[in-house]
Amino acid sequence: MSQDSAIRREVTVKLLKGLHLRPLAMIVRMAMQFDSTITLTNGSKTVNARNQMDLMLLNAGNGSKIVVEAEGADAPQAVEEMARLFDSDFDGDDLIDT
Amino acid sequence: MKLSDFVVPEAILADLQVESKTGAIRAMVEALKNSGAIKPEDESSIVDAVLKREELGSTGIGNGVAVPHTKHPSVDRLIATVALAKSGIDFASLDGEDVFILFLLVSPPDRPGDHLRGLENISRHLRNQNFCSFLRQARSGEEVVELLTEADGDQLN
């Protein structure tokens, strides 16, 4: 994505189990609501936020710093909503035993 | 962690023919029981646990793959099996597509990292187009085992 038009925000994983399947599915469902291209980056690994299998490769444990990047007409909302999701408890994920 | 460390070769179903997600899960757990990897008395509670996990959100992760899983006290290490469904099964995947490759994992409750590492391992290999397409073409458990070994040795790149 070009540097100029992409919107970027750093978020932190605040889940005891890290970004496992369940929160990843929530990320995919969130990403699907927007037209923008959305990626997540952990270290040097960047993946498409709409692809759950790719998201699993992020290997993002508790405390990981993730960069959310979106490009497109609704990029600001996409980044905002994604950041809000990371700030939330992913619907009580820590309390659920999967 | 290698695929061949935790996939139970005798429980592999190279030609799964079921109509439903539930049918697929039952068949895979039954295969684990038939192989001796799980005890007969634990079979139904493992099926229940896997189905309960599905209620939290489908493990159909897209690209024709599903990874149903559960923790269960009856196992002391991560075990898994593979099933290939040539006609596809509706797994309520997020991408809306049927699944053709299923990995079912059962892990011990006191080692939460195990099944996550198992899933990451499986995902990493499934991103390899060769692995996916050879897997879908495999006609026997032996062929699947060979493929897993080759994937472990990074021989499919």
- Mind listing the pLDDT tens digit for each residue in A37-71? 999 999 999 999 999 988 988 989 999 999 999 99
pTM here is: 0.89
- Mind listing the pLDDT tens digit for each residue in B43-59? 999 999 999 999 988 99
Exposed / middle / buried, residue A24 (Cβ in 10 Å: 0-12, 13-18, 19+): buried
Interchain contact, B123 vs A53, CB within 8 Å: yes
Q: Is A9 helix (H, G, I), strand (E, B) or coil?
A: strand
Q: H or E element: which one contains B112?
A: helix B112-126
Rounded to an integer, what distance in angstroms lies between the CA atom of residue B98 and that of residue B68?
A: 14
pLDDT of residue A98: 63
User: Nearest C-alpha of chain A: how many angstroms from B106?
Assistant: 11
Nearest of B85, B78, B75 to residue B23 by alpha carbon? B85
- Mind listing the pLDDT tens digit for each residue in A71-88? 999 999 999 999 999 999
Of the residues B70, B72, B94, the best mutation for testing chain A's interface (the one with the most A CB atoms within 10 Å of its CB) is B94
pLDDT of residue A2: 54
Nearest of B67, B62, B69 to residue B95 by alpha carbon? B62
Q: What percent of chain B has pLDDT over 70?
A: 100
Q: What percent of chain B has pLDDT over 90?
A: 81
Beta strands in chain A (DSSP E): 7-12, 37-42, 45-48, 65-71
- The active-site residue out of A9, A14, A20, A22 is A20
- Which chain B residue shows the shortest CA-CA distance from A27? B94
Assign B124 a pLDDT band (cuts: 50, 70, 90).
Answer: confident
Interchain contact, A22 vs B126, CB within 8 Å: no
CB-based contact, B112 to chain A, within 8 Å? yes
Question: SS in 3 state form for B38-53?
Answer: CCHHHHHHHHHHHHHH
The residue-averaged pLDDT of A16-31 equals: 93
Whether the per-residue pLDDT at B64 is higher than 70: the answer is: yes
Assign A33 a pLDDT band (cuts: 50, 70, 90).
Answer: very high
Q: What is the DSSP string of B49-82?
A: HHHHHHHHS--EEETTEE--EEE-TT-SS-EEEE
Assign B154 a pLDDT band (cuts: 50, 70, 90).
Answer: confident
Q: For residue B38, give every residue at least 6 positions away whose Cβ sits within 8 Å of its Cβ, in sequence order, or none.
A: B29, B32, B46, B74, B75, B79, B106
Whether the per-residue pLDDT at B66 is higher than 60: the answer is: yes
